Structure 1
Amino acid sequence: MNERKTYFQQLDYTLLFLIFLLMCISLLAIYSAAMAGQYNVEPTYFVKRQVIWFIIGTVLMIGAMVIDYDMFKNFTIPLYVIGLILLVVVHFYGIERNGSQRWISIAGNEFQPSEFVKIFLVLALAHLLFLITKDYRERTLKEDFVVVFKVAAVGFPAFFLILIQPDLGTALVIASIMGTMLLMAGISWKIFAVLGAVIFSFLATLVWLHNNFFEFFTEYLVKPHQLRRIYGWLDPESDPGDMGYQLLNAMQGIGSGKLYGKGFTEGVLSKSGAVPEIHTDFIFTVIGEEFGFLGATILIVIYFLLFYRMIIIAFSCNNMYGSYLVAGVIGLLVFQIFQNIGMTIGLMPITGLALPFVSYGGSALTTNMIAIGIVLNVNIRTRHYMFGSEELT
């Protein structure tokens, strides 16, 4: 009884309250987005389905929270292997939509395996890093390279299988998870500098191939719809009726919200159907237009507070395995939020990433709720004292 009481007291209510606020924002924005001309449904249609997904996600979050996270090590390899198998199945038998083959249909219900692979990868890398860094000794540069190589060997298969769907956004989330967890592992900044140089060289090579060997570039490296998205991002005004259509309308809608917004359900562009996928990938457009700069700022502040709480939990845990788990979740969420908001205001190219806890969708929402359950799990099993922390046993 005392142990349960301790667990109950250790529950991070601030984190839960922030998730609740995001849930409320999500339901309001989805309700308003459902009134757009591109959807022939009742405004409550998507809201009801999103509520169901929140309930399912909450159940899964509790499940991820109540099991001692140390037991996750027993399921790491099977889960990750299952995830990779599902990605292979998607490649051969997946449902194609908008130029990408990302979904599997089971009993009439579609889900996106890559969403769950993100969680499986966090578990796998946390276990791997815990095993190879648990002695806490200072590593040489050569040993750090070995750590990076092992992390890349585990993460690259998922990265590659997702990239060829093609789903660049989720593939970059995989890279973000690996990078954040390596950062938590204390990898030398020199290695990050080398990795940055390699990435820059790779991008420079792609630009050179685009300019000098365009046919090879479009046939083997970049899909036509991906290239159109890049063109639409770099110069949307050059083709406002096609490549730049979605981005220009999204930015116009957000900009027209000004300081206080036009009011709930009063967005003009949000309702006109001028912004495709406004209830999923471009939900931030609704928030910017109807709640203005103030509403968008409140949303971003909530995200910052969410990350602040998770960072505190990661560094309060004296079990490196728990710290790696939380770091992986931070990497999983941070890039998605930055990418989603960035693409709606023209800072980033358009990808199919949802805004965590706000965009409509089942696979992404349940994955993120499981991720929060893992973070709460780590916090619950860490005793906090004035001068340190100790893991609950």
Structure 2
Amino acid sequence: AKSWLAFGPLTFQPSEVMKPAYILMLGRVVAQHNAEFYEHTIKTDWNLIGKLALWTLPVAVLLKLQNDFGTMLVFFAIFSGVILVSGVSWKILAPLFGGAAFLGTAGILLAVYGRNLLMAIGFKAYQFARIEAWLNPSASTTGNSYQLWQSMKAIGSGQLFGTGFNHSNVYVPVRESDMIFSVIGENFGFIGGCILIFIYLLLIFQMIQVTFDTRNEFYAYISTGVIMMILFHVFENIGMSIGLLPLTGIPLPFISQGGSALIANMIGIGLIMSMRYHNKSYMFSSSKEFR
């Protein structure tokens, strides 16, 4: 992937900061569409999906040019989450998500049995290698599966309570970034991993609570996008570290090394906090006017 811009010693990843901007734009488009069309029909719902797809197309093209399929999956998760809460009929959503699930399954099968077809449409050899490593990590523990195998060894060696803080005995490539969960699993064990997942769930629960407290349609679309962004990052990063999902370059929010990703996540949380602040300010001013 070629996703970074370098300014001397500093590097910057534009696709990370694009995520909150993309969430704001999708929220704006959906809010304006629903304000214009009070009643949802099949025609208006397809119209909304078309608008969102048009705003997604430039992002998809740029990510394709960067060969960054992992980040594209994050944008797809955000897109899916906003579509789900936008009011689009399930008569449209069910076939769309069913078709996406079918294509994903077919893609995995073709990666094993029909590579020539996938290579003809732009898939690379390293992507096939990741699928192979995911399906059979013990087949090439010193080759394509090395990173995943080492991650699973590190997490397994932590057992229940871990080896202790900063006591990492198993080498895992890029463990300071994409494979950071292997360090947590090794140092703090199963208990530490569960605590971390619980903290993420608590964070997501609080963001959902803010959404219901504010009762603002535009805010709901923004918070949904932020929730889907963080939730997908957590699910994909932890899933790939334990062999549940194929390896891809997705950092663990607020923990993995990477300034661009940290900025994007902080912007997302800042948006949620701003919603609560504005809601409290509005309620306070309303109560003063009433008095």
Corresponding position: 1:226 with 2:123: no
The aligned residue for residue 63 of structure 2 is 162
Correspondence for 2:154? 253
In structure 2, stretches of 5+ residues that fail to align are 287-291
Q: What secondary structure is seen at the aligned counterpart in 1 of 2:121?
A: helix
- Are residue 199 (structure 1) and residue 96 (structure 2) matched? no
Deviation at 1:261, TM superposition (A): 0.8
One-letter identity of the residue aligned with 1:352: G
- Give, in whole Å, the separation in 2 of the partners of 1:241 and 1:135: 58
Instruction: Report the TM-score when normalising by structure 1.
Output: 0.68
Q: Name 2:242's counterpart in structure 1.
A: 345
- Structure-2 change in CA distance of 1:211 and 1:281 (3 Å): closer
- Between the aligned partners of 1:210 and 1:339, the Cα distance in structure 2 is 19
Q: Is the 8 A contact 1:159 1:175 kept in 2?
A: no
Corresponding residue of 1:129? 30
Contact 2:133 2:145 in 1 (8 A): yes
Q: Identity, % of aligned pairs?
A: 37
Structure 2-normalised TM-score?
0.91
CA RMSD of aligned residues (A): 2.1
1:378 and 2:279 aligned: no
Aligned twin of 1:325: 222
Match of 1:214 in 2: 115
Indicate whether 1:183 and 2:84 are aligned: yes
Tell me how far 1:359 sits from its aligned partner.
Answer: 0.5
2:289 alignment partner in structure 1:
none
Greater relative contact order (CA < 8 Å, ≥ 6 in sequence)? 1
Return the letter of the residue paired with 1:104: L
Letter in 1 for 2:146: Y
Equivalent in the alignment of 2:207: 310
Contact 1:381 1:391 in 2 (8 A): no
- Counterpart CA distance in 2 for 1:264 and 1:319 is 43
Give unpaired runs (5+ residues) of structure 1.
1-99
Greater displacement, 136-145 / 351-360: 136-145
Q: Contact 2:162–2:187 (CA<8 Å) still a contact in 1?
A: yes
Correspondence 1:264 to 2:153: no
Secondary structure of the corresponding residue to residue 141 of structure 2 = coil
Residue 327 of structure 1 deviates from its aligned partner by 1.2
- Deviation of 1:160 (Å): 3.1
Q: Could you tell me how far 1:164 is from its partner in structure 2?
A: 3.6
Q: Secondary structure at the match of 2:25?
A: helix
CA distance in 1, matches of 2:166, 2:30: 48
- Residue matched to 1:27: none
Q: Kindly state the Cα deviation for residue 315 of structure 1 after the two structures are TM-superposed.
A: 1.9
Q: Is the 8 A contact 1:319 1:391 kept in 2?
A: no
Aligned residues: 286
Q: Give the deviation of 1:230 after TM superposition.
A: 1.2
Distance (Å, rounded) in 2 between the aligned partners of 1:392 and 1:140: 38
